Amino acid sequence: MSAQKTERLMNLLIMLLVQKRYVTKERIRDILYADSSDEAFEKMFERDKEELRSLGVPIEVGTSDPLFDDDPGYRISPSDFALPDISLTADEASVVALATKVWEHARLAEATSEAVRKLSAAGVELDVGALDLVQPRLGADEPSFDLFLEAAQERTPVVFDYQRGSRPPETRHVQPWGAVRSSGRWYVVGFDTDRDDERVFRLSRVRGEVRRDGEPGSYDIPAGTDVRSIAGRLAPERTELHAVLLLRPGTCHPLRRGADTVEQGVPGPGGGSWDRVVLTRATVDLAAEVLSYGPDAYVVEPAELRDAVVARLDEVVA
For residues 13 and 68, state if they share a domain. yes
Where do runs of H (alpha helix) occur along 19-143?
25-32, 38-54, 78-81, 90-102, 106-121
> Binning pLDDT at 50, 70 and 90, where does residue 118 land?
low
Q: Is residue 139 part of a domain?
A: no
pLDDT at 75: 84
* CATH, residue 194: 2.30.30
* pLDDT value at 98 more than 50: no
One-letter amino acid at 21 equals R
| Lowest pLDDT segment from 77-81, 126-130, 160-164, 208-212 | 126-130
* pLDDT value at 130 more than 70: no
For residues 154 and 220, state if they share a domain. yes
Domain edge (last residue) among 217, 234, 251: 234
Q: Is residue 24 part of a domain?
A: yes
Cis-peptide into 302, omega within 30 deg? yes
Q: Are 18 and 131 in contact (CB under 8 A)?
A: yes
* pLDDT value at 137 more than 80: no
Higher pLDDT, 212 or 305: 212
| Lowest pLDDT segment from 120-134, 250-264, 276-290 | 120-134
For residues 39 and 55, state if they share a domain. yes
The model's pTM is 0.41
For residues 116 and 163, state if they share a domain. no
> Mind listing the pLDDT tens digit for each residue in 23-76?
888 888 888 888 888 888 888 888 888 888 776 678 888 776 555 555 678 888
Q: Are 201 and 210 in contact (CB under 8 A)?
A: no
For residues 113 and 8, state if they share a domain. yes
For residues 247 and 293, state if they share a domain. yes
pLDDT at 128: 47
pLDDT at 100: 46
Q: Is residue 157 part of a domain?
A: yes
> Binning pLDDT at 50, 70 and 90, where does residue 106 land?
very low
pLDDT at 113: 53
pLDDT at 94: 47
For residues 287 and 183, state if they share a domain. no
Domain edge (last residue) among 219, 234, 249: 234
pLDDT at 79: 65
pLDDT at 176: 93
pLDDT at 28: 86
For residues 14 and 128, state if they share a domain. yes
User: What total number of domains does the chain contain?
Assistant: 3
Mean pLDDT of the chain: 76
One-letter amino acid at 275 equals D
Higher pLDDT, 258 or 136: 258
What is the mean predicted confidence (pLDDT) over 134-158? 72
What is the mean predicted confidence (pLDDT) over 293-300? 88
For residues 244 and 227, state if they share a domain. no
Q: Is residue 85 part of a domain?
A: yes
Q: Is residue 275 part of a domain?
A: yes
For residues 37 and 118, state if they share a domain. yes
Domain extent for 89: 3-97+105-134
> Binning pLDDT at 50, 70 and 90, where does residue 105 land?
very low
pLDDT at 184: 58
Which residues neighbour 215 within 8 Å (Cβ) at sequence distance 6 or greater? 156
Rounded Cα distance between 175 and 157, Å, is 4
For residues 15 and 129, state if they share a domain. yes
> Mind listing the pLDDT tens digit for each residue in 189-230?
999 999 999 999 988 889 989 999 999 999 998 888 888 788
Domain edge (last residue) among 191, 217, 234: 234
Q: How far is CA 125 from the centre of its chain?
A: 31
For residues 23 and 129, state if they share a domain. yes
Q: Is residue 140 part of a domain?
A: no
